[in-house]
Amino acid sequence: MPATPSAREIAALVAMPRLLASLGVEPNDRTRRGPCPVHGGKNPSAFSWTDSGLWRCHSCGRGGDRIALIRALRRCGFREAVEFLAALAGVEFRSRRVSLQEIAQTRRRRERAEGAAWRISDEIGRLRRYYTEGLHRAERLQAQIGGEILRACTEAARDCGWDRLARLAPVCTFFLAAWNLMWDAKPDALARFALASPAARRRFILEGEAT
């Protein structure tokens, strides 16, 4: 007889967008954010989730994994939450008794994993803001120099403006490539990017190694 999958294995079988939809939460696959379904807030970016199944509300402070989300929204116990996941995954779940030591070890491992995942998620958010702001600054500077060229009264002033635009072009290209990477790369590539050194990140951006 094949072994019954564990609760963690069952949870991993259910993609977060499907789980959220089954719980009555409309998932946004692009931003992975929305109003918090746990405390019922209206902030459109308070609740965030990852493909690995972690979630957190930045307003009420609640968070956890898929099972914790089911328990919070359906107000049920652990077994009922896993059975709900098993039904979505189309597998059978039979629980077994576990020791307090096993529970404590599992909790510590989960807390370490959640902490690491949220640190990476926060770094990705910081980098997205940084590259977006850099791109906007470069675009504003391009527009400013373009206006100065149009208003220039001498050929020398116009040549100076064109020279400044030429020197600015690589900067704009870099920030545009970075912005595209931060929003188009797959989650595992984004995690590698967030953990990389500044020099490695520059190579990722210029050579597309993280996509």
If one counts every other C-beta atom within 10 angstroms of the C-beta of residue 17, the result is 16
- Which residue matches tokens 């409309």? 26
What is the chain's mean pLDDT, rounded? 86
CA distances from 126 to 58, 82, 121, 171, 204 (A): 15, 34, 9, 19, 17
Return the structure tokens found at 121: 């998620």
Residue 95 has a pLDDT of 62
Tokens (6 digits) for 176:
């545009």
94 phi-psi bin (left φ>0, alpha ψ -120 to 50, beta other)? beta
Average pLDDT over residues 18-32: 85
Q: Which comes out higher in pLDDT, residue 110 or 208?
A: 110
Q: Which CATH number fits domain 7-89: 1.10.10.1800, 3.90.580.10, 1.20.1250.20, 3.40.50.720?
A: 3.90.580.10
Residue 98 scores a pLDDT above 60: no
**H helices, E strands: number in the chain:** 8, 4
pLDDT, tens digit (0-9, with 9 covering 90-100), for 108-151: 887 888 888 889 999 999 999 999 999 999 999 999 999 999 99
- Whether residue 194 is predicted with pLDDT greater than 80 in this model: the reply is yes
Query: Would the pLDDT of 103 be above 70?
Result: no
Residues of the chain above pLDDT 70, percent = 92
Q: Say yes or no to pLDDT of 2 above 60.
A: no
Pairing of strands 63-64, 55-57: antiparallel
Domain boundaries along the sequence of the chain:
7-89, 115-207
* Whole-angstrom distance, CA of residue 157 vs CA of residue 127: 36
